Amino acid sequence: MKNRAILSSAVFIAGLCSIIYELLISTTATYFLGDGVRQFSIIIGIYLFAMGVGAYFSKKLALNSLKNFIFIEYILGFIGGLSVPILYFLFTYVSISSFQLICIGLIFVIGFLTGTEVPLLTFSFRDKDVANNLSNVLSLDYVGGLVATLLFPFILLPFVGLFYSSLSFGIVNILLGLIVNAVFFKNEKRSIIFGLTTLFLTLTIVFSGGYLLNIWEERIYKAPIIVNEQSPYQKIVITKKGEQVKLFINRVIQFASSDEHRYHESLVHVPFSLTNKIEKVLVLGGGENLATREIVKYPGVKQIDIVDIDSTIFKIAMEHIDISAINELAPFDPRVNMIAADAFSYMHSTTDRYDIIIADLPDPNNQSLARLYSKQFFFYVKRCLSEDGVFITQSGDINTSNSVFSCIYNTMDDVFDGELLTYHVYIPSFGDWGFIIHSKDKTPDADNLVKGLKYLDSLTLINNFSLPKDVLIDDTKINTLDNPVILNYFLEDYERFKHVLN
């Protein structure tokens, strides 16, 4: 009974670890390559195929099934444990296409090894009731998978991180092999030595992990890292080199302190120049509160709602000394309400109406973000605007992301009946950045601008409403929830201009 309990526990742990590796590699690939749907689809498909190959191959190992299972655990623990550190390290040295192939190679090896586990354990049960054994083994394996899918988003990702989660579960696999070996084959010195060697090597990476992470990540971000947090939603990194502070989310720059005023002054003061009565303002995204810094300069505004999915950004905005200095303590203005919510869900459920709605959202580089530029989302925005309300959304680089810019314009045009304006501003850290505005009044009033702005003045305000002669609004499909074409446009633009962007 004791031996059966150990084997049953081994099945559960094996199922748990294998799903964790799949989630780790899929998430890491998404962080570095974008397009989560594509990455998860590729990784899951290759993983399942490799499991099938491993299961077929396992019959060749049936003669010494339990001994072979132990060695599989050592190898799987070592490769699976080092999978994320390997990907972190290689990303700074290989091309995007090579990195994708490495992800596929790693998940194939892990899937192949995982595919051998359950058959080998099934062969190890000594009674003749094979059907009953198989059903018990599979049920435990599936339960382990369920536990893994709950652990990953709620505990491992936000509190442990990808790097250490990978290593931790590698150690679990290796320890499982050592325990099974100790119970069933006490005198197998070769197996013990092999297991302890893989454990020692994995632990070495664990104990040097902080040092290695700093080296690898500073190579990626090209500046000393002062904040490095993994929230339940995203990877947040802040760097500081001299006086230059930069915020990155999932490795994509959000602002640089040297020129962010160009972006945020345009994002806020341009829509303010198009309307007079402004009491309620909604900002979607912008949890670092730099847009808020500009809005609080208007004494007539009575309510400012900031909706960001990640409360960690709000905490950084209020507590981190460098970010607080840049946002000038705007989050503490009594008119500001910070709401931790998904922008799409908030717009779907709110009954409030706003005089200005500002979409300071990330680029549509994955399925979740693509919906924030969809026809359905813009319908929610239209519903929540006051009668003469103004809506502005950031719309990407008008040159290197012209397909995205055009798609946002065409989708909004389908909703707002042609009451659109285009605006652009050159930002050294980003490029020639575009904004698309819905406004019934198409004549900006420079007298509405507050005094003391760093970038905007009356002449700049007027001039930037004209797109360069060689920038056109292309014909594109309309972006919808059902058909998020903007994601394909984004990826195609990135592929064309990645030599410029990187």
Per annotation, catalytic residue among 305, 360, 397, 493: 360
Q: Is 496:402 a contact under the CB 8 Å cutoff?
A: no
| C-alpha neighbours within 13 Å on the C-beta side of residue 104 | 14
Q: Which two tokens stand for residue 38?
A: 């594509």
Q: Are 375 and 411 in contact (CB under 8 A)?
A: yes
Nearest to 433 by CA among 310, 309, 256: 256
* Among 378, 360, 425, 371, CA closest to 399: 425
Tell me whether residue 447 is one of the annotated catalytic residues.
no
Whether residue 306 contacts residue 338, with contact meaning beta carbons closer than 8 Å, is answered with yes
SS3 (DSSP) at 432:
strand
CA distance 392 to 272: 10
Structure tokens at 99: 């990195």
CA 13 to chain centre: 28
- Pairwise CA distance, residues 73 & 177, whole Å: 5
Residues listed for the chain: 502
Report CA 67 to chain centroid distance, whole Å.
Answer: 40
Q: In what order do the strands lie in the sheet with 420-427?
A: 336-340, 303-308, 280-285, 354-360, 385-397, 431-438, 420-427
Return phi, psi of residue 299, to 5°. -65, -20
The set of residues, in sequence order, having a beta carbon less than 8 Å from that of 487 and lying 6+ positions away, is 35, 364, 365, 366, 367, 370
Determine the Cα–Cα distance for residues 39 and 378; give it in Å rounded to an integer.
Answer: 27
Please give the positions annotated as active site.
Answer: 360
